[in-house]
Amino acid sequence: MREERDADLSVQDGSCSLEVVSQRASQTQRLGMALGALLQAGDLILLDGQLGAGKTTFTQGLAKGMNVTDVVNSPTFTLLKEYMGSSTVSQAQDQKNAAGAKLALYHFDLYRLDDPDEIIDLGFEDYFYGSGVCVVEWAGKADELWPVDRLYIHLSSVDETKRRLLFVATGARYCELLQQLQKNMYAITRS
């Protein structure tokens, strides 16, 4: 992942950003895995980008990094799917969560959402402040509802296989998370 190694973290006014180019879907998944291994209860990951940009592919990797063994696919018709990580959590997760606790992944897809207030009407807001990790595809459909502190990732197609991922972290927790991800990217092997 040569482009990933050249990624520079930019810090500005309480937020930081990182731009990465993935050469293929498997690398996009590995980026998700690297991030998933760092997540803890209460984290909010917002994904945006056009159809086919790799949002679900990234989420599948994120789930693997959180030790979710279920098949992860887009919850387009249900808006939300819940997954539990296995009881074998990574050492970093074990230190940040209750000892031996399983970390839940709440996977939202807002593609079919017409009105952002539907999130509140359906009671989904409770998930965003709960004990699991929330990842939201098509997050731009509800921009006004998200807390200030979060990790926003915009995915875009460069060509048929390449994807550009722009990570924008707001708040101390998410800037630290992005800094750790950048450090861990050096360990991601080429395929």
Specify the pLDDT at position 5: 41
90 pLDDT higher than 60: no
pTM confidence score:
0.84
Reported confidence tier of residue 133, pLDDT bands at 50, 70, 90? very high
Q: Which pLDDT value is given to residue 169?
A: 96
Q: CA 69 to CA 83: how far, in whole Å?
A: 9
CB neighbour burial string for 84-98, b if at least 16 within 10 angstroms, e if fewer:
ebeeebbeebeebbe
Q: Identify the CATH class of 2-185.
A: alpha beta
Residue-wise pLDDT tens digits, 170-185: 999 999 999 999 988 8
Q: What count of residues does the chain have?
A: 191
Strand-strand pairing, 15-22 and 163-170? antiparallel
R_g of the chain, CA atoms, integer Å: 15
pLDDT tens, residue by residue, 35-88: 999 999 999 999 999 999 999 999 999 999 999 999 998 877 788 999 998 754
Residue 182, pLDDT score: 92
pLDDT above 80: residue 15: yes
Indicate the domain borders of the chain.
2-185
Candidates 168, 181, 140; CA nearest to 13 is 168
